[in-house]
Amino acid sequence: MSVRSDAVFREDVFYRKTVLTTGGGSGICKGMTLAMMRHGCNAIIVGRNKEKITSAAAELSRQTKRKCIGVSADVRDVKSLEKAVEEGVEEFGGIDYVICGAAGNFLALGENISPNAFKSVIDIDLLGTFNTIKATLPHVKTAAGAYIAVSATLHYSGLIMQSHASAAKAGVDALCRSLAVELGPSGVRYMTLAPGPIAGTEGIDRLLPTELKEQAVRSIPLQRLGTIDDIANATVFLFSPAASFVTGTTLVVDGGQWHTQQQFGYPESVSADSQPRPRL
């Protein structure tokens, strides 16, 4: 059973700090942002859907009594992100932490994925992460802050119907290692966080059909699906002073599942023309 981070960490550990999150309007990244706000952070959440991101920001503010603004931008467009960063900095004065969480995925065999569909996932996950870093880095350098990119464990083995997402996330991990080395002398830390199967998320609902969930749980050494709180706790730790000597690494939060990762016989009804559905 998971424990909420505010039962572990000092509630003001991020007082007067600001976090920017792409993909923060829903799911895991919304939970990561919520945890940071519960510990004193203000927040900027970025997404393409203005109405959705504004509503999510209002909800996060109500839950935490901290300030959160929703800004419309597309991670595939660095100019769009730069405008979003300007708006956030105007509101809060700077950016200390960044969560690169925007992602897209779908189920398809590699031989059936069109070049455009493959490119869409790379553009959202990998290029989107790079663009987010480019747009925010001047401010994060000033703050000697930190980045967390949301990765995955898909590419730790040859997982069927996930060649596109696996390639993108492997690139995110490689980017982390290089940038951690380059940015270290500036005092900036860069890490990736790799969730396993997390209950109550769009990803688990779409990528793991109901009839296969019990089989999946049996393959996890800790014998349960993860929770959004599990990922949120890891986020608070990595950004906190307790992890001040941690950089250039991936923290896997999956109950040990990647050590036993196996194929679960995805349904054959997956369309080759399926398009990625970005979490933005």
Which residues participate in catalysis according to the annotation? 151, 169
Token output for 249: 């690494």
The tokens 């599942």 sit on which residue?
257
DSSP code at position 226: B
- For 190, the 3-state DSSP assignment is strand
Hey, is 64 helix, strand or coil? helix
Is 50 in a helix, a strand, or coil?
Answer: helix
Q: Are 47 and 24 in contact (CB under 8 A)?
A: yes
Which amino acid does the sequence have at 274? S
176-184 contacts at long range (C-beta below 8 A, 24 or more positions apart): 176/149, 176/151, 176/248, 176/249, 176/250, 177/248, 179/133, 179/147, 180/247, 180/248, 180/249, 181/248, 183/137, 183/141, 184/247, 184/248
